[in-house]
Structure 1
Amino acid sequence: MASSVDPRFGAALREFRERRGLSLRALGQLAHRSKSHLHELEAGLKPPTVDTARHLDQLLEAGGVLARMVDAPVDHAAEAGELRARVAASDVSADVLDRIEQSVDDLASSYPTLAPADLLPLVRRHLAYVVRLLDGRVTLAQQRRLLVAGGWLAVLRATVHIDLRQRNAAAAHLRAARDLAEHAEHSEIQAWCLETRAWDVLTQGDFRTALELSRQAQRVAPKGSSARIQATAQEARAWARIGDVGATRRTLGRVERLTANLPVPERAEHHYRYDPAKAAAYAATTLAWAGDPGAEQVARAVLADLDPRGDGGARPRRSASARLDLGLALVAAGQPDEAVAVGARAVASGRVVPSNWWRAAELLTKVEQSGVPEAATLRDLCMEYAPGRLPPADSTPD
């Protein structure tokens, strides 16, 4: 063990000096030390010797406090051992962390098939568990794993709230996800937060903000990540809603290049792992929104792939969305009667989530504007299945 100076020595020296009402100059005269030397001692710029500390202790009547701050031996080995023990101390086992991360993947993979109202309580329960663990003893490495898991769960929860049109809750959890991602220095979660906000404002009709958020997400997302691909696809959708067909086509071309050599992920249904098959589905949606003549062919191919037997397929929510895309493309192609048929199947499937009902309402408006009598059938189904009020007949969408 070696002698060392308590880092609080300078502050203690200043306190005892001021109690006696002495200036640095006056104390220097009593102690036969220079004013600058005493200043350096108080500022911690220079360590005192044992003799100087004892002499100052006597002059200031400090009761041995200053002397002990210099005389006290420091057990460096013990301090280092305590530090190592604190780093290793944890109430969380590796098995618990593995199960949490597995649950995150399971919940993200359930997103395309499980109804939002059924998925939400599961996500809430797991997120609450992660928060409780963060309040306990965890190592630095474990803390980061929990922050990352919490970030994924928070952004997934926000997405489900958006699907349920619970936008205040969604905004709150997007902020939480962003904060967790920043603490964990996880740029992909940060990018997904921006992309999710882009989708939310796009569904509300704020296409320019959606465009800017999509571009921000691309700048933040790691190169080659699913978040960057998804954000690029979201940019294409924003251009389509704005009505710039050229920009829409160019952005879809970028999506195609990003996914050209992308392998199919182990869990293709995982919401945060980009499946190359999604590219075609997004292209169908985007081209249909842009009124591009090529939308019908792409939409038919996507629907045939998703639902080859006509029973909804393995991803019934995607199949319902694909039918809405095909319906819009058919209206644009002058086939409103078939558009009603495919739109009716989408609505009657019960798989159109609340955040997507504006797409069904848009299709309804377009077929009604076409004057086809079958539109009444689609309206009746929409009135039956819609989570909220539909616009009155002959109205135009926002």
Structure 2
Amino acid sequence: MAASVDPRFGAILREFRERRGLSLRALGQRAHRSKSHLHELEAGLKAPTTDTARHLDQVLDAEGALARLVGAPVDHAAEAAELRLRVAASDVSNDVLVRIEQGVDDLASAYPTMAPMDLLPLVRRHLAYVGRLLDGRVTLAQQRRLLVAGGWLAVLRATVHIDLQQGAAAAAHLRTAIDLASHAEHPEIRGWCLETRAWEVLTQGDYRLALDLSRRAQRVAPTGSSAHIQATAQEARAWARMGDIRETRRALDRVERLTANLPLPERAEHHYRYDPAKAAAYAATTLSWAGDPGAEHVARAVLAELDPDSDGGARPRRSASARLDLGLALVAAGQPEEATAVAAQAVTSGRVVPSNWWRATELLTRVEQTGVPEAAMLRELCEDHAPRGRQTADGAGS
């Protein structure tokens, strides 16, 4: 593979510029570049230098997203193969459909470990390709497979937008996913759409709506499906945030029954295939939120399983969340010093996505309320590592 400029550079530059509400002229004034030069960069007519990419990152607060695209290896063989597939797609062969479906699974499996900003353009590209094929000549059977693939990609794209705190974009793609799932008569995708929305409003503090959406998702999704199990776990979280330990425990018991004989999926990291190992992690989160005395024991066991060597483990994002769970449980158990230490590990890991940052700030608030001197260090770390636009003093649901 040759070193070159990633072909997505122009589109991503335009996306950041428009997200900041800047015209080409306005960006040019801030970046000290001509309007025509910026136009050529966005149109792909001119390749940026590394220095230009870094400078634009600073001006647009892009956090290095543009610089990472310059000098990155480009898989020309893969791009050529995609072009051949597009040419052959006039009749949408079974080979094309299989490759699309494999691509959907690959992206859903990359979600737990890949940075949202890096995953988003890949999902967009696949979704656009499915859209182009749907505009072509396809049989009814081919159309349904494309609609299903598009539905999964749309709900995944919405999830990534939620992680990036891009609410309007998330809402638009959830609507698209629901439409595609309805046309394909695919209730599990519809269930995931409702569950995804439930998680989003839960992080915003609307616990009653989260509860309602979780229950609706359980009614829509096929019984025992991954969406049904996840929505049940989401219901437990909503009850926990409302402080109802009895209902929290009842919902967790239902999750345990649903997963008791569930086999390990072929790809446990797949976001839309419920991994029974997740049940313990969700229980740790839920019990810590509910203030249940059993939360500390469960949270320690989950973290030991996920990260036995304290290096992030195979699922570093889940490990970071587990540390936040343990920290909250430790504060409740009267151990704020250890809570501060595990919170610091989570915050500095770089694996707490923007939509989950409120959990770090909530833990910071709880630690500060104990009066331990270590709280000042934790606040400094939170301020240094907080996603742009987030305030470390905010609590859950703000």
Scaled by the length of structure 1, the TM-score of the pair is: 0.76
Aligned counterparts, 1:86-165, within 5 A: 91-165=91-165
1:196 corresponds to:
196
1: CA distance between counterparts of 2:385 and 2:129? Answer: 35
AA aligned to 1:389 is: R
2: CA distance between counterparts of 1:360 and 1:201? Answer: 17
Q: Which has the larger radius of gyration?
A: 1
User: Is contact 1:324-1:359 (8 Å) kept?
Assistant: yes
1:329 corresponds to:
329
User: Is contact 1:90-1:139 (8 Å) kept?
Assistant: no
Query: How much is the aligned-residue C-alpha RMSD, in angstroms?
Result: 1.3
Unmatched 5+ residue regions in structure 1? 1-88
Task: Give CA deviations for 1:123-156 in whole Å, capped at 9, x if unaligned.
Answer: 0000000000000001100000000000000000
2: CA distance between counterparts of 1:316 and 1:217? Answer: 28
1:390 corresponds to:
391
1:39 corresponds to:
none
Instruction: State, as a whole percentage, how many aligned pairs show the same letter.
Output: 82
Q: Note closer, same or farther for the CA distance 1:335–1:145 as it changes in structure 2 (3 Å cut).
A: same
User: Is contact 2:359-2:396 (8 Å) kept?
Assistant: no
User: Is contact 2:386-2:392 (8 Å) kept?
Assistant: no
2:338 corresponds to:
338
Deviation at residue 224 of structure 1 after TM alignment:
1.4
2: CA distance between counterparts of 1:288 and 1:350? Answer: 22
Segments ≥4 residues shifted beyond 6 Å: none
2: CA distance between counterparts of 1:224 and 1:283? Answer: 18
2: CA distance between counterparts of 1:247 and 1:328? Answer: 20
2: CA distance between counterparts of 1:156 and 1:125? Answer: 13
Deviation at residue 360 of structure 1 after TM alignment:
0.2
Aligned counterparts, 1:247-396, within 5 A: 247-387=247-387, 388-392=389-393
User: Is contact 1:159-1:196 (8 Å) kept?
Assistant: yes
2:61 corresponds to:
none
Task: Give CA deviations for 1:336-390 in whole Å, capped at 9, x if unaligned.
Answer: 1100000000010000000000000000000001101101111111111101332
User: Is contact 1:365-1:397 (8 Å) kept?
Assistant: no
Deviation at residue 223 of structure 1 after TM alignment:
1.5
1:21 corresponds to:
none
2:219 corresponds to:
219
AA aligned to 2:147 is: L
1: CA distance between counterparts of 2:396 and 2:102? Answer: 45
AA aligned to 2:199 is: W
Deviation at residue 392 of structure 1 after TM alignment:
4.1
Q: Note closer, same or farther for the CA distance 1:383–1:149 as it changes in structure 2 (3 Å cut).
A: same
Q: Note closer, same or farther for the CA distance 1:126–1:397 as it changes in structure 2 (3 Å cut).
A: closer
AA aligned to 1:264 is: L
The answer to whether structure 1 residue 245 and structure 2 residue 245 are counterparts is yes
2: CA distance between counterparts of 1:249 and 1:375? Answer: 31
AA aligned to 1:249 is: R
Deviation at residue 90 of structure 1 after TM alignment:
5.7
Deviation at residue 391 of structure 1 after TM alignment:
4.3
2:177 corresponds to:
177
Report how many aligned residue pairs link the two structures: 309
Deviation at residue 396 of structure 1 after TM alignment:
8.7
2: CA distance between counterparts of 1:103 and 1:284? Answer: 32
1:60 corresponds to:
none
Aligned counterparts, 1:4-15, within 5 A: none
AA aligned to 1:190 is: R
AA aligned to 2:354 is: P
1:58 corresponds to:
none
Q: Note closer, same or farther for the CA distance 1:294–1:98 as it changes in structure 2 (3 Å cut).
A: same
Q: Secondary structure at the match of 1:275?
A: coil
AA aligned to 2:196 is: T
Q: Note closer, same or farther for the CA distance 1:375–1:230 as it changes in structure 2 (3 Å cut).
A: same
AA aligned to 1:169 is: A
2: CA distance between counterparts of 1:390 and 1:296? Answer: 28
Q: Secondary structure at the match of 2:277?
A: helix
2: CA distance between counterparts of 1:351 and 1:379? Answer: 17
